[in-house]
Structure 1
């Protein structure tokens, strides 16, 4: 049996969190779908609530703390990503966006991503298509067709109802198939040079923006 890693990114702010609940159910479904395809999946959860201050500090200083660096490496080194955010004011929350702002811009290129969200009303469901999907398309990720939105009425005693469960299973199957068909991701090398020695000697760093 081959092995793959799934990074589960949850941007819920409360405890307990319906966003985390949805993330966990999606992750369990994706792991089961991969097992059915002969792939053993390791789940690695990144709870953004725990890194909120470090994310802001990284935006201000350009340097991640050790804990945030580990979280970023977890996402960058995963074979697939499940990204789940609460919807505020018809878009993803600021913590969710800020985390992916500090992630290396090339980390998700050709990486399968399942997007999902929670919100106080089903009217927020379109935010997945007009806000979340375009962000991952910009990062050149491979976003699976089915996006999963859960409103309060989709839960019954902490368990997904039939319609939500169907969306979870469909999205999980799409992610599992994308992960299965790709070679294992190569973990990021913390010592890799982003600029060649020739460029350094010439004083020309293409990664540095003017001003």
Structure 2
């Protein structure tokens, strides 16, 4: 399986990259089978991203990064917090992707910041962004403030989130496109290959919506 890490850290060394590396190592350790980990450093692609907006063509490095993200079995995305939201560089990279590039793709969201007061950035900024892109965002996001490094709690959040991503990656590997798109939270035709159980909302047009928690439970052995 292919795991791609997108890091929007700007400094060297970067706490954003450090969190990304810890999440990647934990996910690879929890996955069933070998995992090929690729890292996309957005800092190195900033100029190419800007040029893509003005001329419509990705450079060689940006094109390779887009290919990696599009072909990934799972994504870990980590951004520093700027002005109570994700960074402009982070958003710009996902703006240049094709609108369907992340449909049904498992994504773990994470962020770093100087204070714990910004922890809700995961819910008010990152989760809506990837829900709009129709990715399958794992339930647990990971936020690391400056005081979290070396403190209790961060390691547990990393393990919980990486475990959720590993389960989704393993479950979705090799599944058909319609089933993967169903797991993205889109409506699917009644009688499709997605196991439906519990509280399934039926619609008059013959489609049904399966809550994410039940979709995830149906994939577990």
Q: TM-score normalised by the shorter chain: which range applies?
A: 0.7 to 0.9
> Where in structure 1 are there 5+ consecutive unaligned residues?
187-211
Aligned residue for 1:20?
A: 17
For residues 162 and 170 of structure 1, what CA distance do their matches in structure 2 show?
Answer: 14
The answer to whether structure 1 residue 95 and structure 2 residue 92 are counterparts is no
CA drift of 1:185 comes to 8.4
For residues 28 and 122 of structure 2, what CA distance do their matches in structure 1 show?
Answer: 23
* 1:12-34 Cα deviation digits (max 9, x unpaired): 01000000000000000000010
Larger relative contact order (Cα-Cα within 8 Å, sequence gap ≥ 6): 1
Aligned residue for 1:144?
A: 138
For residues 147 and 78 of structure 1, what CA distance do their matches in structure 2 show?
Answer: 19
Where in structure 2 are the equivalents of 1:65-80 lying within 5 Å?
65-80=59-74
Where in structure 2 are the equivalents of 1:1-211 lying within 5 Å?
4-34=1-31, 38-156=32-150, 161-184=151-174
For residues 126 and 97 of structure 1, what CA distance do their matches in structure 2 show?
Answer: 17
Q: Normalization by structure 1: what TM-score?
A: 0.81
For residues 114 and 88 of structure 2, what CA distance do their matches in structure 1 show?
Answer: 17
Matched residue SS, 1:150: strand
Instruction: Name the CA shift for 1:132/1:152 in 2 (closer, same or farther; >3 Å).
Output: same
**How many residues are matched?**
176
- CA contact 1:120–1:151 (8 Å) conserved in 2: yes
For residues 106 and 74 of structure 1, what CA distance do their matches in structure 2 show?
Answer: 15
Q: Normalization by structure 2: what TM-score?
A: 0.78
- CA contact 1:9–1:81 (8 Å) conserved in 2: yes
Aligned residue for 2:216?
A: none
Structure 1 runs (4+) greater than 6 angstroms displaced? none
CA-atom RMSD, angstroms?
1.2
